[in-house]
Amino acid sequence: MAAITLHRLGKVYPGGVRALDALDLAIADGEFFALLGPSGCGKTTLLRTIAGLEVATEGTVRIGDRDVTDLQPGRRDVAMVFQDYALFPHMTVEENIGYPLRIKKVPRAARHDKATETAAELGLTGLLDRRPGQLSGGQQQRVALARAMACHPQVFLLDEPLSNLDARLRLEARTFLKRLQRELGVTCVFVTHDQAEALALADRIAVLESGRIRQVGTPVEVFRQPANTFVAGFIGSTPMNLLDAEVAGDAVLVAGARLPLPAPVRALVADGDRVVYGVRPEYLDLHPAPVPGALAGRVVVVENLGSSSLVSLDLPGPDGAAGAGLQVVVPEGREPAIGSTGWAVPRDGRSLVYRNGELLHATEPAGATTDPAHAVGPAADSSVTDSPVTDSPVTDSPVTDSSVTGSSVTDSPVGGSVPAGGAVAGSAAGSGAAGGPA
């Protein structure tokens, strides 16, 4: 069991492609950590660099109290489960699970016992004599996990652990994986491009874009308080509505409507500022009749999501032409007719304001640490205070245990200088603590 600390980690491929760009990241002991991002963002390269399959061109990787930057993968005491599981096709399940022990020159009998025991833990008893080709996708994954567990590594690395399973099996495997990680209590880093997977599994998530970390936080934080418009657009099964807006006093003008400016950011903006107004489709209420403080638009598409429906509205543009689109989630039975006009009201405290792509945080008086990050989970706190890296933007913030998790890491002017993250929507944040994975 060990923490992982990355310090200014960089990877430049021989062709000059920069896959990782001065990454700072602290993953706590026993944490289930997700590396999330679109394809080509460097998340797999980062995982492979931690494993030692790629050699970092700058910076350091520490696992526990060892600097492993220049160590061979086999000497880092990590186990990796590959996306395709990489079970050796010419070996039986038992030989596969026992392979790491065979490398460590464990005698055959002890290997057999260990493989049988590990297989039993993962419900693979009775499959020990089969070959990987004779197993289902879910069983193959469990064999790969058993093989990784057999040598008791300090760190588990999983590359897209669920992407090779079909939809139903994926949900099952997700629950299984989370439970297994809890029981083993081992530090576990996984890579995914599926934000729902990251939100469901991880204690904390790092969102990456082109080799940089755009935000690190608990699922609640990255979902409620995306630090920038990239994260806002990436997280959520339906992307956040991001609308161009202009500040006018204590309100913002969005698509011809006048919406109240969230109270905590009023001090940060001036009249006439161009900002982006963000609100999730789930946090909008659709009314069939005009109401004050609502975005009015014509209903163009209604998509059934099962227990709810996703309604797309066309908002009027500045000169009467068709403007931006807006998406609203409405509960079942409340679907509007196509072509009718709907009025969408943002719920109190759930809307966010971005300027230059970065979230505007409220500046709160020092000591006002009524921040949700505290209550979210033990991992969030320990990861920061345990971190031996002192000069990273993550740890040099004055309010060490709360500003980190919710704030943008890459952007020092906004994220770094404003100590208390996650206080834009006070009431929402307060209730958010209850929803944490604690």
Partner 1 sequence: MTAGPATPPRPATAGPGSTIGWRGGLAQIGRYTFVSLVLGFFALPLLWLATAPFDRTPTITTSLPEFTLDNFRALLDNPYALRSLWNSILLSGGTAVLVVTFAALAAYALSRVRVPGRDALLYGLLLLSSIVTGTATMVPLYELAFRLNLIDSRLGVILILSGGLLPAAIFILKDFMDGTPTSYEESARVFGASPVQIVWQIVLPMVRPGLATVAVWAVANVWGNFLVPFLLLRNPDKAPAAVIMYTLYTEGGQANLALLSTFSLLYSLPVVLMFVFVSSRYGFRFHGGIKR
CB nearer to partner 1: pick between 89 and 318: 89
Cα–Cα distance list, 326 to 18, 289, 295 (Å): 36, 17, 9
Min dist CB 132 to partner 1, Å, is: 3
| Contact criterion met (CB below 8 Å) for 201 and 218 | no
CB nearer to partner 1: pick between 130 and 178: 130
CB nearer to partner 1: pick between 151 and 191: 151
CB nearer to partner 1: pick between 163 and 238: 163
CA–CA gap between residue 48 and residue 229 (Å, rounded): 28
Instruction: Spell out the SS3 assignment of 82-109.
Output: CCCCCCCCCCCHHHHHHHHHHHCCCCHH
CB nearer to partner 1: pick between 43 and 204: 43
Q: Residue 151 interacts with partner 1 (CB under 8 A)?
A: yes
Tell me which of 30, 59, 132, 393 binds partner 1, using CB under 8 A: 132
Mapping DSSP to helix (H, G, I), strand (E, B) and coil, where does residue 4 land?
A: strand
| Contact criterion met (CB below 8 Å) for 315 and 297 | yes
Compute how many residues bind partner 1; rule: CB under 8 A: 33
Q: Residue 139 interacts with partner 1 (CB under 8 A)?
A: no
Min dist CB 57 to partner 1, Å, is: 17
CA–CA gap between residue 226 and residue 230 (Å, rounded): 8
CB nearer to partner 1: pick between 82 and 176: 82
Give me the sheet containing 204-209, strands edge to edge: 78-81, 155-159, 187-192, 32-36, 204-209, 212-217
CB nearer to partner 1: pick between 52 and 393: 52
| Contact criterion met (CB below 8 Å) for 150 and 95 | no
CB nearer to partner 1: pick between 137 and 325: 137
CB nearer to partner 1: pick between 136 and 412: 136
CA–CA gap between residue 219 and residue 237 (Å, rounded): 13
Min dist CB 375 to partner 1, Å, is: 37
Per-residue interface string for the shown chain with partner 1, residues 154-173, x marking contact by CB under 8 A: ----------x---------
Min dist CB 203 to partner 1, Å, is: 23
Which residues in 34-53 contact partner 1 (CB under 8 A)? 51-53
Q: Please list, in sequence order, all residues whose beta carbon lies within 8 angstroms of the beta carbon of residue 16, skipping any fewer than 6 positions away.
A: none
Which residues in 264-323 contact partner 1 (CB under 8 A)? none
Min dist CB 64 to partner 1, Å, is: 17
Min dist CB 48 to partner 1, Å, is: 8
- Strands 341-346, 352-355: parallel, antiparallel or unpaired by DSSP? unpaired
Which residues in 339-358 contact partner 1 (CB under 8 A)? none
Specify the residue for token string 């709360």. Answer: 402
What's the N-to-C CA distance of the chain in angstroms?
20
Which residues in 72-131 contact partner 1 (CB under 8 A)? 72-75, 78-80, 82-90, 96, 99-100, 102-104, 131
DSSP 14-81: TTS-EEEEEEEEEE-TT-EEEEE-STTSSHHHHHHHHHTSS--SEEEEEETTEE-TTS-GGGTTEEEE
CA–CA gap between residue 131 and residue 205 (Å, rounded): 35
Q: Please list, in sequence order, all residues whose beta carbon lies within 8 angstroms of the beta carbon of residue 291, skipping any fewer than 6 positions away.
A: 343, 345
Tell me which of 134, 304, 385, 412 binds partner 1, using CB under 8 A: 134
Q: Residue 417 interacts with partner 1 (CB under 8 A)?
A: no
Min dist CB 125 to partner 1, Å, is: 20
Which residues in 368-397 contact partner 1 (CB under 8 A)? none
Would you tell me which residues interact with partner 1 (CB under 8 A)?
Answer: 51-53, 72-75, 78-80, 82-90, 96, 99-100, 102-104, 131-134, 137, 140, 151, 164
